Structure 1
Amino acid sequence: MDRNADQAEGRPVGLTADAGWQIGVRRTLGASAERIWRHLTGTEAGLALWLGDARPRELEPGSELVSSEGIESRFVVVKPGRQLRLRWRLPEWDEPATLQIRLLPSGEGRTAVSFHQERLAGPAERELMKRRWEQALGALRDALEDGRAGDGESG
């Protein structure tokens, strides 16, 4: 169901009929999908944006991680250079949410990066995650602009 249909049925922004509370944050950045993927999945700074301090040995469906902060993750879909979908839970949450990170080429040397999270418990979690993913995209943009992103090196 689309956002307009949800609002027409009287649901608040962010509440859907089938996925509960959700949030999507997207930004187009001046870098290739390959460079962004390398940073998000191959550097400590990139991984920290969405996994905390947990470090996967392999990015593959079924892999599970728990960070020292208590963030629990289980990979569901991994499409290198394009998409990650995982069950993702903060320690204070009763149930995990679904987190999807997508990279969408958007012209020469530009990529739209999207964090979409659904099955959130309510509007407070939605607002918390909106801020978290906006900050993550800002940090990713800064790393790309400063030349710190996408070299595949830890740091």
Structure 2
Amino acid sequence: MADEAGKTARSGWEIGVSRTLPYPGSRLWEFLLGREGLEIWLGPGVELPRQRGAGYETANGTSGQIRSFHEGSRVRLTWRPKDWDHDSTVQLTVVDLGKRATVKIHQEWLADAAERTEARAYWQDVIERVEAALAER
């Protein structure tokens, strides 16, 4: 029997990664939604709109639409790299824990187990790069 870990009846193949960092939630959110942070997790050359239904496209061709935006805590959007034939949904959440905060990234509607594996590696790298960029500040 094939390994079906990561496949749900409701939203297909999905992945989630998270990390608690030694920064207040407001600082982490500000970084992630600023130019440098957006380039790390979403792609280069994009400003993320805040209104539901608004579209975006990065310089490398990733495109999507805002599904929901909760200032300071969560953004949910569709995410489609230029070489994909389908949309996925990404939710970025910042949980403020006072002097620390947890960043959570959840992606669903992935095509298959291989795409899930690629997504896991991508989002783990994103969190590593966010942590390194904040440490340099």
Runs of 5+ unmatched residues, structure 1:
1-9, 148-155
Deviating runs (4+, > 4 A) in structure 1?
none
Alignment-derived partner of residue 141 in structure 1: 131
Tell me the CA shift for residue 58 of structure 1: 3.4
Distance 1:82 1:57 in 2: 15
Alignment-derived partner of residue 11 in structure 2: 19
Alignment-derived partner of residue 39 in structure 2: 48
Which of 56, 61, 72 aligns to 1:65? It is 56
Which has the greater radius of gyration?
Answer: 1
**Number of corresponding residues:** 136
Runs of 5+ unmatched residues, structure 2:
none
Which one-letter code corresponds to 2:67 in the other structure?
Answer: V
Q: Work out the percentage of aligned pairs sharing the same amino acid.
A: 32
Report whether the alignment pairs 1:81 with 2:77: no
Alignment-derived partner of residue 121 in structure 1: 111
Tell me the CA shift for residue 124 of structure 1: 1.2
Distance 1:125 1:104 in 2: 27
3-state SS in 2 of match to 1:68: coil
Moved more, 53-62 or 17-26: 53-62
Using the size of structure 2 for normalisation, the TM-score is 0.92
Distance 1:34 1:17 in 2: 35
Q: CA RMSD in A?
A: 1.5
